[in-house]
Structure 1
């Protein structure tokens, strides 16, 4: 008798599972007229076809965005950086100071121990290089010790760089 009760319990649970799946499918089905249906309850949305479907429209170049950037807004964006960086020359925190960073050689602050990947990089912190770094620090310099996730909005990066340029 116990085995029969266990099998009955499994069959009952399976039946409830099937009925629940059927009810959910009938309530939330968004398919396009399958299962022998002539009409779908969804409304068709007409989309204009373009000649070049694979071409992605890009925004303005970074120099144009930077020219229109607002340093006052950049000062607000800098609040995300203030925990690890200072704007006072010579005052390093977890990260190096950012006074006169625009145009400065990469990994050139005396007395700061850079991670190996940044220490080995050549070049200057141009606005474009800073934008690339701030967008995705780990993508720009894989292995960097900077744990910041990055600024995804180009306007935020441009405003921040415009603010940093005022510190030169």
Structure 2
């Protein structure tokens, strides 16, 4: 038999969990808002990407008239090696940089290497058919969203959405040489 106290405890647990969910949603919205505040301020400005990786422009119509020194563009391969090594921590589950293959091919010497060229690694048909070379631009495009750059590849990694992170990882990989 259920006692009324058990029902009250169960209801309290459900309401407490709901309150926890609402507070978590509010806190994450405050921390990770996109385009202004989490409270939907219509006057908030949103930064937009330029064609140059890492370049940002303001949302307003006067963005094109902005002086060149206000637009900050990343130069691929000129990032922060230490920061790139830290971001590379996301890749270490599948890739090594010591010349040995793991779940994925080793990535030391990847910059300038032909795509799908590591001896002894079983690449997917999509990688083999893609061809080309791992230039700085190709790595940047691939690391943005691997499944879009080479459709049908086996890598489950979603990508690095921040241009700074991609540039730093590319700089780190470039520093490893071959």
TM-score by length of 1: 0.63
Secondary structure of the residue aligned to 2:102 is coil
Greater gyration radius: 1
Encode CA deviations 1:56-93: one digit per residue, 9 max, x unaligned.
6616446843254101100000000000000011x100
Unaligned runs of 5+ in 2: 1-41, 55-72
- Structure with larger RCO (C-alpha < 8 A, sep 6+): 1
- C-alpha contact (below 8 Å) 2:111/2:174 kept by paired residues: yes
Give RMSD over aligned pairs. 2.5
Structure-2 residue corresponding to 1:82 = 92
Structure-1 residue corresponding to 2:75 = 65
Structure-2 residue corresponding to 1:13 = none
Unaligned runs of 5+ in 1: 1-44, 48-55
CA distance in 2 between partners of 1:117 and 1:46 (Å): 45
> Number of matched residues?
117
User: 1:111-126 maps to which residues of 2 (within 5 A)?
Assistant: 111-126=120-135
TM-score by length of 2: 0.60
Specify which of 88, 96, 102 is matched with residue 111 of structure 2.
102
Encode CA deviations 1:103-132: one digit per residue, 9 max, x unaligned.
000000000000110011221100110011
